[in-house]
Copies of this chain bind each other. A is one copy, B any other.
Amino acid sequence: MTDNTKKIAALPIEAPAYEAVTDLISDYAHALDDGQLDRWPGFFTETALYHVTTRENHDQGLPIGIIRCVGRGMMIDRVKAFHTANIFEPHHYNHLLGPARIGPGRTAGAVASRCNFQIVRIMEDGRMDLFATGKYLDEIVLESGVAKFRERFVVLDSRNVDILMVVPL
């Protein structure tokens, strides 16, 4: 490591403000509720990790996931795949979020958040069912001054996962 690097590392790194964090978490949910999948990758940093797993795997520290995207490019590909392979009966979602429990992140400039969710799925004919429950475990940082997910773990309570589920949660 050069002296130069040390100097850069020593600069204080600004963490996103409380309100920016809670707004990010809400906006993400509302975008998905609105079916605006194209907005989804934009909530993440360029090199972010998006990982959907079950509570069981997560508690055992297993790296196995149901969906794993590394980087915004991979997320954009996933959105494209969704648009071309939409075999679903039309439906949409209601993401109900609990309050975010916010604390310091793993590195300087990062905020950690834990937030429960319950997602209700509404079919075209009006049927509603509880689609998924779980928690979001997030690391949130500023990228060009905007709060983004550097990491979002979606930990599902149930191992019964709809195998056709390709939609971001």
Distance from A94 Cβ to chain B, minimum over Cβ atoms (Å) = 4
Complex CA gap A99/B116 in Å reads 12
| Contact partners of A98 in chain B: CB under 8 A | 26, 29, 95-97
Complex CA gap A33/B133 in Å reads 12
Q: A78: CB under 8 A from chain B?
A: no
The size of the chain A interface, using a CB distance under 8 A, is 36
A88-121: which residues lie under 8 A (CB-CB) from chain B? 92, 94-101, 114, 116-118, 120
Name A residues whose Cβ lies closer than 8 Å to a Cβ of B.
22-23, 25-27, 29-30, 33, 55, 92, 94-101, 114, 116-118, 120, 122, 125-128, 130, 133-135, 157-160
| Contact partners of A22 in chain B: CB under 8 A | 99
| Contact partners of A101 in chain B: CB under 8 A | 23, 26-27, 30
Distance from A130 Cβ to chain B, minimum over Cβ atoms (Å) = 6
Complex CA gap A120/B120 in Å reads 12
Complex CA gap A27/B122 in Å reads 27
| Contact partners of A120 in chain B: CB under 8 A | 118, 130, 133, 157
Whether B157 lies near A94 (C-beta < 8 A) is: yes
- Chain B residue at minimum C-beta to C-beta distance from A100: B99
